[in-house]
Structure 1
Amino acid sequence: MSFRDDIKAGPEADHAENIKSDDPPEGTTKGVHNALLYEAVQESQLGRWSPSAIRIYFAIFVAFCCAVANGYDSSLLAGMLPMEYFQNAFHTGTSGPKVSLIACLYTVGHIVGSPIGAVISDKYGRRWTMFCGCWIVILGMVIVVASKSLAAFAVGRFVLGLGITLSTLAAPAYAMEISPPHWRGRATGLYNCGWFGGSIPAAAVTFGCNYIKNDYSWRIPLILQACGAMVVICSVFFIPESPRFLMANGKEQEALDFLVKYHGGGDRNSKLVALEYAEFKEGISQTGSDKRWWDYRCLVKTRNARWRSAQVIMMGVAGQYSGNGLAYFNTVIYQKLGIKAVTEQLGYNLLYAFISALGALCGAILSDRMPRRKVLVFGTLACAGWLAINAGLQSAMATHAEPVPPALSKGALAAYLLFNFNFMFCYTPLQAVIPAEALETTIRAKGFALLNITTGAMGFLNQFCGPIALGNIGYQYVYVFVAWDVVEAGLWYCFGVEGQGRTLEELEWVYDQPNPVKASLSKQRVVVGPEGGVRAMDDI
């Protein structure tokens, strides 16, 4: 019996039969991935601004704040490196091995913290993991602010990376697990936009603090990195625990109460609640590998698991190594484009952050309307195109006799900014959505640990090799990402599984099929009647 058949044995079996019909269709015909879910959503009483919805928004905002500290760091380093007083204190230069050291130790903290975060998340819950991670972020902030040597600063960077990986391992899983199925893409995509809730303030703060003529020019931006963590610490125990974590730990009644209150608008007879609860009981094991902290075989021991892990690894690699890692060294890139003044570089860094946020926000808002797989295939190809234009114009600048026409440098800068808008539109919302959809509840924490290890490894490669490569081969380093983005697009086309329009538990059926990619693209034909009733007709 298939997973779909099993679900129909649940409490919603009666209404599943009622929507089947061999009569000639009357009304609007649609193709949907899951007819039961489509009907339940159409009849849902959960309003966008109902009290239940507002509570969900607040809970997602708390998770959002975990991403703020991570995003803050992305603009922080690029903004501090050219500062006079930072250089007087640590003598790192703007590129080279010292910059690689302080950049990549943050990533090493990510890698080390990932398995620790998985243990805490599976045993104590998503909220406790966010809480612990944010306290470690504050500890790391204290160390870097008090640093008087490069070694102490590097240790603080490691501790920051450790804390941020704990909080960002649990937060996207939490945002995904508490969201109603039809809000999942937007909720998790907007969570990931928390990156820009950190990167824009960091760019603005470093721009302003550059005018301070003492060590507080770099210490103030570091102190403010803890703001998001403080919000989480003060708020996290005022939000509900994930219903999927509750179900996986034998608290079925609490999980059902959550669904009724937050997804059903208080209606225990809601079809959406019945569908989700039946799938929880079917798909979530209370004796799964999440109870064995040391057991990571669950990620590879079955064909189903290997397909799931492949989605996680592909997103971990593509999300870090598609050219976006160049942002850590924006000031170096601006120098190579002829922008020499530190104030002007920091101004462009702020513009970069705003353009990034705009792209990510647009992508997040539209994420539930756009097929994930198509966005990743065509969006990654577009990234390759913008980088190719940027590198080509930089090549023309390098071979042109002095003076270099301003149009070349402006064109290269525009292509770089448009690449970034394109990347953020495609990847920022989906960096959390794709792994969370690919991982079933009992392996989600370990799967996010795998994601963090993968992103950490690629981030280490980015941050260690980036300054050295930019110093030695300059713009030619961009061609590496042009070629790799084309390869990534091919991988997404061949192996990317579409998760749009299905519940998290129904994806178990998709991954059990001989060809999960083909299965994920299958649809059912439904007819929406004149009065809003829904009938499932057949598979398309």
Structure 2
Amino acid sequence: MAIGNIYLIAAIAVVGGGLFGFDISSMSAIISTNQYSCYFNQGSINADGTCEGPTSSTQGGITAAMPGGSFIAALISGYLSDMFGRKRAIMIGCVIWVIGSTICCAAQNIGMLVAGRFINGFCVGICSAQVPVFISELAPPTKRGRLVGLQQWAITWGIMIMFYVSYGCSFLQGSKAFRVPWGLQMIPAVMLFFGMMFLPESPRWLARKDRWEECHAVLTLVHGKGDPNSPFVAREYQEIQDTWKFERENADVTYLELFKPNMINRTHIGFFTQVWSQLTGMNVMMYYITYVFLMAGLTSNTNLVASSIQYVINVVMTIPALLFVDRWGRRPTLLVGAVLMMTWLFANAGILASKGVYVPNGVQNKPEAKVQVSGSASKAVIACSYLFVASYAPTWGPVSWIYPPELYPLRVRGKAVALATSGNWIFNFALGYFVPPAFENITWKTYIIFAVFCVGMFVHVFFMFPETAGKPLEEVEAMFTDPSGPRYIGVPAWKTRVAFKDAVALEHGDFEKKISHEYSPERVEHSTEKVDA
């Protein structure tokens, strides 16, 4: 029997996000340990028995292998999802994760480790693209942001749990220090695989396959609390039918559809939502925070403990977004996050530039940490790093997963979100490879690069990203394309508003309530032509 509670459905599905979190900290907590450095050593062995480890470019390649696989898999996931369903696509990802984790756990050399991480990336690419689609197609409008945002919260939990597992294993001798955590990370994938068996399929995917009875049954189960005559279920079912009848003639689509004039704007918005989330530099902080804290004068276990604090901050500070993002809206959340992160990045760059001491061979022979600060400057670098994480966690972290699935019509949603997510992974790949050499060669200027990106994303969001919070997915489609209905056509992005109160009224059966006033009939009367948006 399928589970009908939407919160429980989301809680199980977002374990797929937790797998990404496990991967991040299973690397970030381990790269600074001597066991890892000596096993995969490409440099010299020091007099005290410590090893230089892989070169900075090799370490970048090891780290980047996972997002490299994710990029390819994210694109493939659109076809998997459309062919087999959102649910089965996620289950396929779980099987792939177990295979990749097994190879990582058994890695005998750098090549085998890269291969295992690349395969793990296939799972992360599939799940990161299709879990938000799965949840957004099941969730009611008033809870959609909160529920899809659980994906990011699961990522933060995965990061924190795996970091402490890896930290505990760092006290083991030899290769056990990294083999144990890399083996343990397959456990949540096994749990997710069996948990997905008890979840319903997306009603909108079922509709796309003309399985209307099953579609209605899922809506009844999830939204009607078992009542097939629920007014909200009837309205939702009718909207899905009307939308699918309109889309049927274009049902079989390819990625090229996303670049046609009537879709290109939404394609670019969704893609850049994911790209900008990487260019904030957040995953750099997650993968390479131990290098940052080496520059701040923290070494050995002190470094790992200090690094773990940011993971706790990440978990806790994601909670406000889960509670309020549907009320706040997507646009204000993204704009505020960009400003705050820009502030802390510029601050760190200024502190390291003005107070840092150049260390030619790197702190503790780590070439990625060639600038070191001490005293109050050290505390300021640590504080700004924590504040950066606290700014990302309730803003770009969850919204980058919430926003793209809301933008697209049913016929292309699986492929469109897959393409958007591929932007996340290709930039994750590039940054994972770029940052260690960047820290080695341009040191504090690395922070300037990401701070300037934050300025760019603020401008882009302000002028180009419309508000989608509180609107049914079918209404968002009408907002872009329907010449006779509520829409975004002719309304500047910065004038669009949250429709949370209207959505609440509709869920409670007040179907006569008008949708937010920027889509009022008066505005439609003055613009009757169909405009590509």
Secondary structure of the structure 1 residue equivalent to 2:326: coil
**Aligned match of 1:385:** 343
The answer to whether residue 449 in structure 2 is matched with residue 480 in structure 1 is yes
CA distance in 1, matches of 2:410, 2:509: 33
SS at match of 1:388: helix
Q: Cα RMSD (Å) of the superposition?
A: 2.7
Counterparts of 2:85 and 2:150 in 1: how far apart (Å)? 22
Structure 1 equivalent of residue 289 of structure 2: 330
Equivalent-residue separation in structure 1 for 2:197 and 2:466 (angstroms): 35
2:2–2:199 contact (8 Å) kept in structure 1: no
Shift of 1:504: 0.5
Secondary structure of 1:268's partner? coil
SS at match of 2:148: helix
Equivalences for 1:127-206 in 2 at 5 Å? Answer: 127-206=87-166
SS in 1 for 2:14: helix
Matches of 2:491 and 2:54 in 1, distance apart?
Answer: 46
Counterpart in the other structure of 2:531:
none
Task: Find the aligned partners of 1:265 and 1:404 in 2 and give their Cα distance.
Answer: 59
Cα pair 2:314 2:390 within 8 Å, conserved: yes
| Aligned residue type for 2:155 | W
Within 5 A, what are the aligned runs for 1:280-429?
280-284=240-244, 287=248, 291-292=252-253, 295-303=254-262, 305-327=263-285, 328-340=287-299, 342-398=300-356, 406-429=375-398
Choose 499-508 or 54-63, whichever is displaced more.
Answer: 54-63
Q: Distance in 2 between matches of 1:104 and 1:533?
A: 50
Q: 1:242–1:212: structure 2 CA closer, same or farther, 3 Å change rule?
A: same
Give 2:202's match in structure 1, choosing from 199, 222, 242.
Answer: 242
Alpha carbons of structure 1 residues 242 and 117: separation in structure 2 relative to 1, 3 Å: same
Change (3 A) 1:536 1:403: closer
Specify the alignment match of 1:227 in structure 2: 187
How far the C-alpha of 1:118 sits from its partner, in A, is: 1.2
Give deviations 1:426-472, integer Å, cap 9, x for gaps. Answer: 01221211001012222111112212221122112211110000011
Distance in 2 (alpha carbons) for counterparts of 1:227 and 1:288: 43
Q: Could you tell me which amino acid in structure 1 is paired with residue 237 of structure 2? A: Y
Matched, 1:491 2:460: yes
- Given candidates 172, 176, 183, the residue that maps to 1:216 is 176
Structure 1 pair 333–179 and aligned structure 2 pair: CA distance change class (3 A): same
Give the aligned residue type for 2:324: L
Q: How far apart in 2 are the matches of 1:326 and 1:337?
A: 16
Shift of residue 69, structure 1, vs aligned partner: 0.8
Is 1:79 the counterpart of 2:29? The answer is: yes
Deviation at 1:337, TM superposition (A): 1.1
What percentage of aligned pairs have identical amino acids?
24
CA contact (8 A) 1:147 1:153 kept: yes
The answer to whether the Cα contact below 8 Å between 2:295 and 2:372 also exists between their aligned partners in 1 is no
1:344 partner letter: T
Conservation of the 8 A alpha-carbon contact between 1:387 and 1:481: yes
Alignment TM-score, normalising by the size of structure 1? 0.84
CA contact (8 A) 2:297 2:373 kept: no
Of the candidates 463, 481, 489, which is equivalent to residue 514 of structure 1?
489
Give the unaligned 5+ runs of structure 1: 1-50
| Alpha-carbon distance in structure 1 between the residues aligned to 2:54 and 2:387 | 24
Letter in 2 for 1:193: W
Displacement after TM superposition at 1:520 (Å) = 3.8
TM-score, with length taken from structure 2: 0.85
Cα distance in 1 for partners of 2:198, 2:18 equals 19
Contact 2:75 2:415 in 1 (8 A): yes
Distance 1:336 1:495, change over 3 A: same
Check the 8 A contact 1:67/1:192 in 2, yes or no: yes
Q: Quick one: distance in 2 between partners of 1:312 and 1:101?
A: 27
Any idea what SS the aligned residue of 1:181 has? coil
Amino acid at match of 2:277: G
1:270-291 deviation per Cα after TM superposition (whole angstroms, max 9, x unaligned): 2321221121112235746663
Partners of 1:130 and 1:168 within 8 A in 2: no
In 1, Cα distance between equivalents of 2:97 and 2:358: 47
Q: Residue 303 of structure 2 aligns to which amino acid in structure 1?
A: Q
Q: Is the 8 A contact 2:4 2:225 kept in 1?
A: no
Q: CA deviation at 1:417?
A: 0.8
- The offset of 1:195, in angstroms, is 0.2
Gapped regions of structure 2 (runs ≥ 5): 43-52, 360-370, 482-487, 519-533
Q: Cα distance 1:338–1:277, how it changes in 2: closer, same or farther (>3 A)?
A: same
Matched with 2:469 is 500
Distance 1:243 1:481 in 2: 40
Aligned residue number for residue 277 of structure 1: 237
Identify if the C-alpha distance between structure 1 residues 537 and 510 changes in structure 2 by more than 3 Å, giving closer, same or farther. Answer: closer
Question: 1:48 corresponds to which residue?
Answer: none
The CA deviation at 1:205 is: 0.9
Task: Give distance in 1, aligned partners of 2:509 and 2:109.
Answer: 68
Letter in 2 for 1:259: L
**How many corresponding residue pairs?**
484
The partner residue of 1:435 within 404, 420, 439 is 404
Q: How do residues 10-21 of structure 1 correspond to structure 2 at under 5 angstroms?
A: none
Return the alpha-carbon distance in structure 2 between the equivalents of residues 147 and 525 of structure 1: 54
Alignment partner of 1:121 is 2:81: yes
The residue that corresponds to 2:20 in the other structure is 70
Structure 2: which amino acid aligns with 1:199? I
104 and 534 in structure 1: CA distance in 2 versus 1, 3 angstrom threshold: closer
